[in-house]
Amino acid sequence: MEINCDQYKDSAYRSADGSCNSLDYPYRGAAVTPQPRYQPAQYDDGLNSPRTTGKKGDKLPSTRLISNKLFRAPGDCTETDHARTLMVMAWGQFIDHDLAFTPVTQDDSSPITCCEEGAQSRPECFPIPIPSDDPRFTHSCMELVRSASAPCQAGAREQTNEITSFIDGGVVYGDSIEKWAELVDAQTGGMLTSEGELLPAGGSCKLTNEDDFCQKAGQR
């Protein structure tokens, strides 16, 4: 679908959804577009089925096993980093949430579970086997629902970025004019808040505290 960027040619500001930030490539970095690849997709069937074997045909190990091998601290003691604080992790997570959000496959009737008996063969599922000697988990399966496929092109399955891929504050202000209007006071330009200077109430979420309430934010 063609997009008209005339309204942005003389604009000093980004668009809410990232479209036309590049006048030469108007969809580059825009919300709800396929994520680009640095390397071609490598599916088992060339199109859709997740890769489960290596180049020599050997079965690939569990990603949980690899994670344990790479990040488990030696012995029983976690090493202390004297150059970085926990804020590095928090800031990195914040920036990550401003750059990408990959939606997972949804079921209209109920949440998808992949570790139940018989569910692992569902096309939406790709659960992670947990080693029997895992230092944390006692069960043998970790839920993993596959990311939703980008619906707009033929060929190998691609993934969608639902938000802009620019560091543009979309995690705060949203990635569409409609979302922005829910969060910002159009008269003052300030962020809307609920009592106690909290995020505005609304939306749907899973509450663990009955005294809490769902809140609106730039990214869900």
Other CB atoms within 10 Å distance of the CB of residue 9? 8
Q: What is the pLDDT of residues 142-195, one digit of tens each?
A: 999 999 999 777 889 999 999 999 999 999 999 999 999 999 998 998 999 988
14, 97, 122, 157: which is the annotated catalytic residue? 97
Provide the whole-model pTM: 0.82
The pLDDT assigned to 167 comes to 94
Q: Is 97 a catalytic residue?
A: yes
202: left (phi over 0), alpha (psi -120 to 50) or beta: left
